[in-house]
Amino acid sequence: MSVQEKLIHDLTYAELEQQVLSMGEPRFRAKQIWTALYQNYKNDVDEISTLSKSLRNKLTEIFNINPLRTVRTVISQDGLTQKTLFALHDGVLIETVLMVYEDRRTVCISSQSGCSLSCTFCATGQMGFNRNLSQGEIVAQVLYFARYLAEKDERVTNVVVMGMGEPFLNYDQVMAAISRLNDPDGFGLGARRMTVSTVGVVPRIKQFADENSQVNLAISLHTVQDELRSELLPINRKYPVSLVLDACRYYIRQTNRRVTFEYALIDGVNDSIEDAAALVQKIKGMLCHVNLIPLNPTQGYDKPGTQADQVRAFYDVLERNGIPCTVRLRRGIEIGAGCGQLAAESKSDLS
């Protein structure tokens, strides 16, 4: 990253303060910049009118304040889901989604461009891995939609790290971004309004537990049969179901917070009554919730999602056994904005 591409959002408050002092400016300027970035959502130094012209010029010379270049935005037919493709400073592409509900405005953000884990039914996994995102690039996705919603007198209410990439393979940058978003003097989003989703990177689940934060944890489980899970999610060969569930129990003991299990239902693959019974056997008694998600279509996987009657039958097995369960409301499927559908196909998208 060149000098001009140094992202201001990558700085902690202490680092920003030190930068301001090194410029010969008074300490309070850092607070003005911080407020402009994270409370007023400024993405142009010249819009920060509380700063002197000379300081604005210095900041422009050193920092990039707007790391996301909008390539394309698509909106669902019902107008409730919006997906935006962004190019970063090096041309790497990511996608971010805004979902509008009656009482929530949820932003689904990416932590990597692409993904190295090759989950068979996931469009991001099918595209391969480009690179990790910095904390500032992660935060900037939320600020983009915060700016968009502010024009409607609305605000971001929830953030889910469920976009492109495996967050726990970019753990430090993701946690730094979450801290930035949670900062009461910055963006100020409550920890319980944020969720991180992982396919089961066991050491990082335990590390996350030891953070003892109020941020929610979701596990992409999809089956409790090791052989099948290893086919669908190759990382299961390294971290099989038993280790993932043990890590979840550790998380529950450490935090006294429930785990959400994400379960994509695939027609004829993992959606039988026997599959539901096996899931019950593995997780019964855990402080948890199951999100059932009929699989969303992707170009690289030809099996369809489970039909509604079988989804209901699967749900009923869990419900009868006292497992809290929800069938997730599907959003933005026709624009490729649903779970597992995010993929910047190639740099031809830049044209």
- Phi/psi of residue 202, each to 5°? -55, -50
| Measured distance CA(211)–CA(131) in Å, rounded | 25
Task: Please report how many Cα atoms fall inside a 13 Å half-sphere around the Cα of residue 134, on the Cβ side.
Answer: 18
Active site residues: 95, 339
| Measured distance CA(107)–CA(100) in Å, rounded | 9
Task: Please report how many Cα atoms fall inside a 13 Å half-sphere around the Cα of residue 66, on the Cβ side.
Answer: 12
How many other C-beta atoms can be found within 10 angstroms of the C-beta atom of residue 319? 13
As beta bridge partners, residue 108 has 97, 160
Angular region, 62: left φ>0, alpha ψ -120 to 50, beta rest: alpha
The DSSP output letter for 29 is H
Burial 185-197 (b: 16+ CB within 10 A, else e): ebbebeeebbbbb
* C-beta separation of 121 from 301 below 8 A: yes
**Which tokens in the block code for residue 161?**
């790290």
Looking at residue 39, its amino acid is Q
